[in-house]
Structures are given as structure tokens and as C-alpha cells.
């Protein structure tokens, strides 16, 4: 029997969710919801007229599904995920899972109380270079990790903010740490543990928006590693780099490219990098700007497998809350 999915939020990445779900032969898309009904309808028409809703509550009342993909702006993630969990659905929520630890905890508590799964999209964990670095860390090849250096040096043009009712707004987006840097923060804390102390500077340098578009943070992690994070959406014309460098006792690795898609340096004791590896991760392309990797198909395949077999290693909300905690700590420790 096919696994039934429904999607709320048919915008930039909602379209990618629908394309990925449609391409998976084990999945049936039972409904689409967008408060702009024309947006949902236009998408539905591309995929054989999937039933559409403008009200999320109406959709929840009227459908039978295994999973609801919550792909709306950040500030809606917690209330919509909680509503779907309470209505008896499993949920796959886009990053960031929420705009506060308090909200994320409520989402996780609701999932536990309802006996439902709450998964969070972390598709960069499937990037080929990320899998290689993760193996090196997990197997202890790098020894003690001394330092991590993360650079998110990207471009977002002013229209990216102007054309959106939520981007660049403090209440609705939170800031670039939630939108752009959260992918990278997830990996830093996956490998080094939670942030235990941090100091940061942030600024709005080249956009007319409420939130920061640039910042620098220095951090200490649970495993004792020191780290730096430089994030910006002010790079001229196009994304320049999305990278993480790991400096360990027995090796150094730099994952780079524009979106964690290459190994730029690998020098690990006793472990050469295989020269035949196919670095085939592609970015999400949105016309005038480019996002991070497009490995949503792997996230969805993992969830299908977990529903079918009861076994899975998909990222759940109890893991997702850790990046929210790190982001909250960075914002709380911005030096004036």
C-alpha cells in the first residue's frame, strides 16, 4: 500500500517537496494546502489535480494521510505541526523546526503524547562530503576535534526579502541564522555537541530588512572544540561559499563548495580520500538565487522506509531542537 502524504505550504520549497513525493513510486499525495489557494491549485494541476485546501484545519479534518509535510514560513511550523500531530498525523517539518526552544519542546512533547513521529528536514546530512566527514568523526579517525570553522557566505538579492511577507521580519523569520545558517549549525552540533558558550556580533549591512544579514560568532562546544561561524547574505551577485573545516588531532577536513558539496581538503591519518568518489549533490535552484543541497528525496525515502519497516535513522524533533538551542544562544549573546 502506498504511503499517503499531504503538504501545507506550496511556495519555493513546497514545490520541491511535491516533486520529490510525486517521483517516489511508493507515495501517494492526497492533498495540498496553501492559504493562497491559487498557489496550491497551480501546483495541483501539474500533478493530476491533487485535492487542494486553503484552510489547514479543513485539510486535517478531511483527509486520511500518514504524513503531513509542514513547508510554510518558520513562524507557522510549531502551531501547524502541533495541530497535525493532535489530529493523528505524523509530521515532517521544514527547518528551522521552530523559532524558539520553548516551541520546539512543545512540538516534541505533543508528538510523544500523541504517539506520532515528528521529523525535521536536514537534507544536508545526505551530502556526499558530509557523509564522508561524519564517518571520519564517528570512527574516531580525526582523534580529538580541536576546532571547527564554518562560513556561510551567500547572496540573497533585496527582492528575495521584498517579495515575501515573512523574510527579513524578526517575528516571522527570526533572522539569517534560522534560515541560512541553521543547515550548518545542525552539522556543527551533530559533530561537536551542543554550544556551551558563545559571543557574537551581528549587523544588517546591505539589505533593507529588520533582521541581521551578517554575523560572526565564536563558540565552545560540548566536546571542547572551539568554533567560529561567519554568516552573511551580502555576498556580491551570487553565493560564494558554504563550508565547514574540521581540525582534529589526527586529521583535517574541509567541506566546501558553495553548499557543502565538495571535499576541498582531506588529510586524515591512515585514510586517503578515494579518488573515484562522485560528488553529485545538486543545489535547490529558485531562479534568481540558489539554496543548499536538494537531497529532499533522500529525506523522504528515509521516512517511507521507517513507516514501512518501523526502523529508521531519520532526524526527529528531539535532535532538531538542538540547533534551535544553539541559534537562541547565539542571538542571546550578541555584543552591542
* CB neighbours of residue 336 within 10 Å: 3
Q: Is residue 33 within the footprint of ligand NAD (CB under 6 A)? A: yes
Q: Which of 293, 300, 284 is nearest to 23 (CA)?
A: 300
CB of 142 or CB of 181, closer to ligand NAD: 181
C-alpha–C-alpha distance, residues 251 and 144, integer Å: 9
Q: Is residue 73 within the footprint of ligand NAD (CB under 6 A)? A: yes
Q: Is residue 242 within the footprint of ligand NAD (CB under 6 A)? A: no
- Cβ neighbors of 241 (< 8 A, separation 6 or more) are 151, 152, 153, 256, 257, 258
**Dihedral (Cα; 205, 207, 209, 211), 10-degree rounding:** -40
CB of 41 or CB of 305, closer to ligand NAD: 41
- The CA-atom distances, in angstroms, between 287 and each of 14, 104, 272, 333 are 15, 32, 38, 35
Q: Is residue 60 within the footprint of ligand NAD (CB under 6 A)? A: no
Strand partners, 203: 214
Q: Give the position of cell 591519518.
A: 269
- Candidate residues 44, 214, 232, 284; the one interacting with ligand NAD per rule CB under 6 A: 284
**Looking at 28-36, 41-49, 237-245, 311-319, which segment touches ligand NAD (CB under 6 A)?**
28-36
CB of 73 or CB of 256, closer to ligand NAD: 73
- Candidate residues 11, 193, 302, 312; the one interacting with ligand NAD per rule CB under 6 A: 11
Q: Is residue 123 within the footprint of ligand NAD (CB under 6 A)? A: yes
Residue showing the smallest CB distance to ligand NAD in the complex: 11
Q: Is residue 281 within the footprint of ligand NAD (CB under 6 A)? A: no
* Torsional sign, CA 212, 216, 218, 221: positive
C-alpha–C-alpha distance, residues 253 and 133, integer Å: 7
Within residues 159-178, the interface with ligand NAD by CB under 6 A covers 164
**Looking at 9-17, 187-195, 259-267, 314-322, which segment touches ligand NAD (CB under 6 A)?**
9-17
Positions in the binding site for ligand NAD (CB under 6 A): 8-14, 33-36, 39, 56, 71-74, 76, 94-95, 121, 123, 164, 179, 284, 291-292
Amino acid at each position: 500500500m502506498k504511503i499517503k502524504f499531504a503538504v501545507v505550504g506550496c511556495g519555493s520549497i513546497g514545490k520541491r517537496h511535491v516533486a520529490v513525493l510525486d517521483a517516489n513510486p511508493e507515495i501517494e499525495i492526497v492533498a495540498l494546502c496553501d492559504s493562497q489557494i491559487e498557489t496550491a491549485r497551480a501546483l495541483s494541476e501539474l500533478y493530476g489535480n491533487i485535492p487542494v485546501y486553503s484552510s489547514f484545519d479543513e485539510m486535517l479534518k478531511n483527509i486520511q494521510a500518514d504524513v503531513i509535510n509542514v513547508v510554510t514560513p518558520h513562524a507557522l511550523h510549531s502551531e501547524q505541526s502541533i495541530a497535525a500531530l493532535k489530529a493523528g498525523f505524523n509530521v515532517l517539518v521544514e527547518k528551522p523546526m521552530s523559532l524558539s526552544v520553548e516551541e520546539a519542546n512543545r512540538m516534541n512533547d505533543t508528538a510523544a503524547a500523541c504517539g506520532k513521529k515528528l521529523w525535521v528536514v536536514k537534507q544536508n546530512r545526505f551530502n556526499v562530503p558530509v557523509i564522508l566527514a561524519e564517518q571520519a568523526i564517528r570512527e574516531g579517525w580525526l582523534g580529538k576535534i580541536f576546532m571547527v570553522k564554518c562560513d556561510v557566505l551567500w547572496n540573497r538579492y533585496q527582492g528575495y526579502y521584498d517579495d515575501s511577507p515573512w523574510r527579513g521580519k524578526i517575528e516571522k523569520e527570526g533572522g539569517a541564522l534560522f534560515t541560512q545558517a541553521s543547515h550548518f549549525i545542525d552539522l556543527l552540533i551533530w559533530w561537536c555537541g551542543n554550544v556551551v558558550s558563545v559571543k557574537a556580533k551581528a549587523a544588517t549591512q546591505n539589505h533593507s530588512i529588520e533582521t541581521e544579514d551578517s554575523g560572526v560568532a565564536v563558540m565552545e562546544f560540548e566536546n571542547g572544540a572551539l568554533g567560529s561561524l561567519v554568516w552573511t547574505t551580502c555576498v556580491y551577485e551570487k553565493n560564494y561559499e558554504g563550508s565547514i573545516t574540521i581540525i582534529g588531532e589526527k586529521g583535517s577536513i574541509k567541506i566546501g563548495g558553495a553548499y557543502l558539496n565538495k571535499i576541498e581538503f582531506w588529510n586524515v591519518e591512515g585514510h586517503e580520500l578515494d579518488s573515484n568518489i562522485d560528488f553529485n549533490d545538486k543545489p535547490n535552484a529558485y531562479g534568481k538565487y540558489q539554496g543548499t543541497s536538494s537531497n529532499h528525496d533522500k529525506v523522504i525515502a528515509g521516512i517511507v522506509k521507517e513507516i514501512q519497516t518501523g526502523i529508521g535513522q531519520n532526524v526527529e524533533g528531539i535532535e532538531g531542537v538542538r540547533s534551535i538551542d544553539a541559534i537562541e544562544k547565539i542571538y542571546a549573546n550578541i555584543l552591542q
